[in-house]
Structure 1
Amino acid sequence: MKRGVAFVVAMLTAGALAGAFASSARAADAPRGQIVANSNACMGCHAVDRKLVGPSFQQIATKYKGDAQAPAKLARKVKDGGSGVWGMIPMPAHQSMSDADIRTVVDWVLAGAPSK
């Protein structure tokens, strides 16, 4: 009986480890901009392909396509927050995000938020 329990525990542990490795592998395959967005609460209000509280990242990419000033405008919007561009719900400021992380997310969004 003890052997059976040990086997089940070993299998559960192996399954949990496999899941963790698979999750890590998926995270490692994700673009850096998506990883930064996930770790800075961006996905609480935005999704890649559909409106949530704020516009989808793909909607943002479409709106700013061809705008040479877009990277600077959006970086400032992420850092300082704001309202009125996409509706009445304000975007909160993200003062604690580094400028490098903001630029990484903005570049990824403007590229259409690709999954690879």
Structure 2
Amino acid sequence: MPRRRIAAVFVRPRLPGGFLPARTTSLRTVAALLFAVQATGVLAQLPEPTELVDQQHCMFCHTLDAPFLAPSFHQIADRYRTVPNASAMLEEKLVHGGKAHWGDMAMPLPEDRGGPLSPKDAQTLVQWVLSQ
């Protein structure tokens, strides 16, 4: 009598109602969400700290997307986003002023921009600029 071969069928276990186990569903959901967020670029964008931007008169020299008296925030983000320790350097420049890195115009001293800036506020501004 010849032996019969039985084909092994691997069936993924399903919960009642036909749902896949939560772990598998969660992984799919997270992967789809991450893909959607990356595709839209929403992940990196932070809300504008309007009060700080106004207090420090940032828009007197900068704009979001076009050079004016100083580079645009997009240009700054493009240049420094991937540079190690760029955040610390830019925060220091905001707190104390600094020499020109773009053309001839230096970052004005805090007293000339709207008053002293705390390190925490400088960090908030830099993170927002680098998210552009």
Give the TM-score normalised by the residue count of structure 1. Answer: 0.64
Aligned to 2:108: 92
Flag structure 1 segments of 5+ consecutive residues without an equivalent. 1-29
Aligned to 1:69: 85
Superposition misfits of 4+ residues, deviation over 6 angstroms: none
Q: Residue 66 of structure 2 is aligned with which of 50, 68, 93? A: 50
Structure with the higher helix share, 1 or 2 = 1
- The total of aligned residue pairs comes to 83
Structure 2 CA distance for partners of 1:65 and 1:32, relative to 1, 3 Å: closer
Identity between Structure 1 and Structure 2 (%): 36
Shift of 1:32: 4.5
Structure number with greater Rg is 2
1:103 aligns with 2:100: no
Cα RMSD, aligned residues only: 1.8
Task: Give the structure, 1 or 2, with the largest relative contact order (CA under 8 Å, sep 6 or more).
Answer: 1
Aligned to 1:79: 95
1:61 maps to a residue whose letter is A
Q: Distance in 2 between matches of 1:55 and 1:31?
A: 20
Q: Distance in 2 between matches of 1:65 and 1:98?
A: 22
The more displaced of 56-65 and 86-95 is 86-95
Give the TM-score normalised by the residue count of structure 2. Answer: 0.57
